[in-house]
Structure 1
Amino acid sequence: MDAISPELELTDAELHLYSRQILLEGWDIEAQERLKLSNVCIVGCGGIGCVLAELLARAGVGKITLIDPDTIEMSNLQRQLAFTPEDLGFYKAEILAKRLRQINPHVRVESINQALTTENATALIQHQDLVLDGCDQFAIRYLVNQSCVKLNVPLLSASAIGFQGQLFMLEGDSACYACLFPPENQADESLRCADSGVLATTPNVMASLQAHHALLYLGLGKMPLRQNFLLWDGLNFKQRILSFQKDTDCPVCQAR
């Protein structure tokens, strides 16, 4: 690993804060310093994004950019742990950013109260070390995937609906989200929490798994879900990991 510049070395306060992680066999000060050097972008500050962002902030990821155009509604409070009734009507990204700064003042947080679009995706994604997708709209999910493929930025994408969740990683020349789910087969936007329902714990389980994988990648360079797809069945408390390959006809990753 390259030498860490003095201003990016862990302070005494940070060493104390992250001491339980640094004590782990297989995780050391260098892994923690790699976290501090990392920039991540979270697309969606709802059920998945809230817990994901908090876990990464507590763990010591250096900079977190939050992207979400939505404001907080009463129905969000059932599963979106960062928010309270006093936050109703405020932007999710702003309130979540405020909470993260309170939790860990050593982490830099930026909030973007706008939707990810074809116009701003490159500027928001191109300098990230990892993009974390937790949105509930297929169109945005495909845009995130397409942008990460184009810019060669690693992506961890998680979703949750009902009792079920999914998680996969795009990295380098691996298969992309469109290989798994061709866009022409995913036109039903009704498959969202607002329309289909979701158990309070489902997005939080998926957020924890996504955060765990992110820490393994950022701190240790591990990618257990590269070319693999995790399926969580919360109703029957079962988990499966399926291997998959690139689609030779994929319009996204085969076109670059």
Structure 2
Amino acid sequence: MFRRQIELLGDKQKLLEDKKVLIVGAGGLGNSLATFISCIGLKKITIIDFDKIEIHNIHRQIQFYKKDIGESKVKILGDRIKRCNTQIEIVEGKFNSNMDFDVDLIFDATDNFETRKEIDKFAKNSRLPWVYASVDEYYGQVGFFEDADFSIFATKNLSPKGQIPPMVSLIASIEAMLGIKYLIGELKEEILYYVDFKDDLKIKKFKI
């Protein structure tokens, strides 16, 4: 199943076989992210979200259809990404830092800083790394946090503005790649990428 991927990763493919990850959020970023990593050979993916599917979600949340309106996001997403035999666990509810998850890495696929601060607190308490991602209009950020203080980024809790599906998937792709790089031992530093696709594509990298 993973022949093409093994051609790229070689023996590092085996490092993914015992890895377990948590995705917080089953919206736009969560849909694309879960789809991308569900077939890379991980042992288990856990997804947590409290929300229901609405009509305005359909255009950018790629695993949802009109027939799913009113259903649990995490339940539908979990069902749709089972095709590659990775174990999928779903948790319906709001994430908080007091929860207990046995994972190797956390992916942020939320849309608000309050939940991200809870992710950061959980990660620090559990001594786990996490990958932060956000997208708004033609801009996005993706970062890998291990020891760095996330609170300096969480200055305002603003609701996302307009979003276009390819931009959401672009940010989710970078997030997925950062996660994979960490899981196979190739990511050694805490970094933040800033993506600007308003005119020409510009990507800036910062050490944190």
Alignment of 1:48-87 (within 5 A): 48-87=29-68
Instruction: Kindly indicate whether residue 1 of structure 2 is the aligned counterpart of residue 20 of structure 1.
Output: no
Cα displacement string for residues 119-155 of structure 1 (whole angstroms, at most 9, x for unaligned residues): 42xx13xx21000001001110111011101210110
Amino acid at match of 1:23: E
SS of 2:76's equivalent in the other structure is helix
Q: Equivalents in 1 of 2:78, 2:179: separation in Å?
A: 19
Q: How far 1:176 sits from its partner (Å)? A: 2.8
Amino acid at match of 1:231: Y
Q: How far 1:74 sits from its partner (Å)? A: 0.7
Q: Choose from 149, 158, 161 the match for 1:176.
A: 149
Give the equivalent residue in structure 2 for 1:222. 186
Unaligned 5+ runs, structure 2: none
Give the equivalent residue in structure 2 for 1:115. 94
Unaligned 5+ runs, structure 1: 1-16, 245-256
Alignment of 1:161-172 (within 5 A): 161-171=136-146
Q: How far 1:191 sits from its partner (Å)? A: 2.6
Asked if the contact 1:161/1:191 (under 8 Å) is kept, the reply is no
Amino acid at match of 1:201: P
Q: How far 1:62 sits from its partner (Å)? A: 1.3
Q: How far 1:96 sits from its partner (Å)? A: 0.7
CA RMSD of aligned residues (A): 1.4
Q: Equivalents in 1 of 2:195, 2:18: separation in Å?
A: 31
Instruction: Kindly indicate whether residue 127 of structure 2 is the aligned counterpart of residue 159 of structure 1.
Output: no
Q: Equivalents in 2 of 1:205, 1:147: separation in Å?
A: 27
SS of 1:59's equivalent in the other structure is coil
Asked if the contact 2:97/2:119 (under 8 Å) is kept, the reply is no
| Structure 1 residue runs of 4 or more that deviate by more than 3 Å after TM superposition | none
Q: How far 1:227 sits from its partner (Å)? A: 2.8
Q: How far 1:211 sits from its partner (Å)? A: 0.7
Cα displacement string for residues 188-232 of structure 1 (whole angstroms, at most 9, x for unaligned residues): x3332xxx21122221111001111111111x21116x3321001
Give the equivalent residue in structure 2 for 1:9. none
Instruction: Kindly indicate whether residue 97 of structure 2 is the aligned counterpart of residue 134 of structure 1.
Output: no
> More strand per residue: 1 or 2?
2
SS of 2:16's equivalent in the other structure is helix
Amino acid at match of 1:239: I
> More helix per residue: 1 or 2?
1
The TM-score with structure 2 as length reference comes to: 0.94
Give the equivalent residue in structure 2 for 1:241. 205
Q: Choose from 77, 83, 91 the match for 1:96.
A: 77
